[in-house]
Each structure stands twice: as C-alpha cells, then as structure tokens.
Amino acid sequence: MKDSIAFLKEFAKNPTKVGAIAPSSPGLVQAMVDSFDWSSVRGVVEFGPGTGVFTEGVLKRLHPDAKFVAIERSPEMVAIARQRCPQANIVEDSVTNLDAICDAAGIGEVDAVLCGLPWASFPDSLQREIMNVTLNRMAPGARFATFAYWQGVVLPAGRRFSQLLRSSFQDVGRSHTVWRNLPPAFVYRCVK
C-alpha cells in the first residue's frame, strides 16, 4: 500500500515521467522477467525501476556472474527502490547517460534491458534518443522488454513507439495480456 501511495503521488507530480498510477502487478513482473534467458545474460540494465518490483524479480533470477544496474530519475522512487532492494545498484540519473552508467558499473555490452519507462508520454525526439543509446550499448542478439498499457497503444505516441520498436529490432513480439494489472498491459519482447 505504501508503494501504491508513493507511486500515485509521483504520478500526480510528474505524469509524463511516471506514466502510471500504480506499481506493476506480480503478473506483469512475471511477464517481464520471463522475457530473458537468465542463465546466459551477464550485462543487465533496468530503465525506470520505480518502486523496485521488476528489480526484485531480476535479483531473484540474476546469474551470480551477471552485472546489473537500474536507472531511475526520481529521487523519491530511487529511495523506495533502494529500500526494497538494498543489494541492487540503483543509480539516480537519466537513461540517456547509459554509456557512462554502464562503464561505472563495469558493464560492457548489455545482454538484457528491462524497461519501465512511459514511452507513450515521451516526444518523438526523446524516444529516439533513448532508443539509439540503448541499441548502441546492446550486444547482437540481446533482448529488450518493455510494457505497454492497452489504452496507450491506440494513441499517436503509442503507435509511434510501436513503429520505433519494429524499425529498431529484428524481432518484436508481445506477451499475453496481463488483465490483473492496473491498467491492463502486455510486454513487448524484442531481439536486437
């Protein structure tokens, strides 16, 4: 409940930066983390961990030899995620600084990206900037997973983001719909 209240406050303060009114459900966390072969990924990055629900899922599956960093802009969300996952490397920064963040974390090429950013609320220029820096750091065959809310898919920014994924990755699929999420969502599963 505390996470939900913090999330709602952050949404009210910065709706274009948070993009959701509640933390992701256990079902959405499962759909996100099931997008990866955890036995083989070694460089893992999370964009926008929020309250840390995906971070928690990653830490349960992360290979002992893997390196992981989560990047969050909101100081309030960073504090909550760090409290939830004290063993995680959670950095307060912008994902546009991915190269410097990965260098500092000792991550060369990235094998897996879990993304909780509100893509549909971003302007085209920011979507492209984030995608370019991400693709440049990803290894060939690396996987990228992000979720979308069904109501956002039909909006112009949501359609533009779907097209950006299809033009950026060699394979783009979708998970099942997670109906018990608020709002209902699915995961885009992409392969570089």
Short-list 149, 90, 75, 74, CA closest to 119 = 149
Provide the pLDDT for residue 22: 60
Q: Are 102 and 69 in contact (CB under 8 A)?
A: yes
- As a whole number of angstroms, the distance between CA 103 and CA 71 comes to 13
At residue 63, does pLDDT exceed 60?
yes
At residue 4, does pLDDT exceed 80?
no
Provide the pLDDT for residue 66: 98
Name the residue with higher pLDDT: 91 or 17: 91
Provide the pLDDT for residue 5: 47
User: What dotted CATH number matches 2-191?
Assistant: 3.40.50.150
At residue 79, does pLDDT exceed 80?
yes
Residue 67, C-beta contacts closer than 8 angstroms, at least 6 positions apart: 42, 43, 44, 105, 106, 107
At residue 111, does pLDDT exceed 60?
yes
Provide the pLDDT for residue 17: 45
Short-list 43, 58, 64, CA closest to 142 = 43
pLDDT band at 3 (very low <50, low <70, confident <90, very high): low
3-state secondary structure of 69: strand
pLDDT band at 150 (very low <50, low <70, confident <90, very high): confident
Backbone phi and psi for residue 147, each to the nearest 5 degrees, phi listed first:
-110, 160
Mean pLDDT, residues 124-144:
96
Query: What mean pLDDT, rounded, does the chain reach?
Result: 89
pLDDT tens-digit series, residues 9-55:
444 455 444 445 466 788 999 999 999 999 999 999 999 999 999 99
Q: How far, CA to CA in Å, does 54 sit from each of 58, 71, 78?
A: 6, 12, 13
**Global confidence as pTM:** 0.87
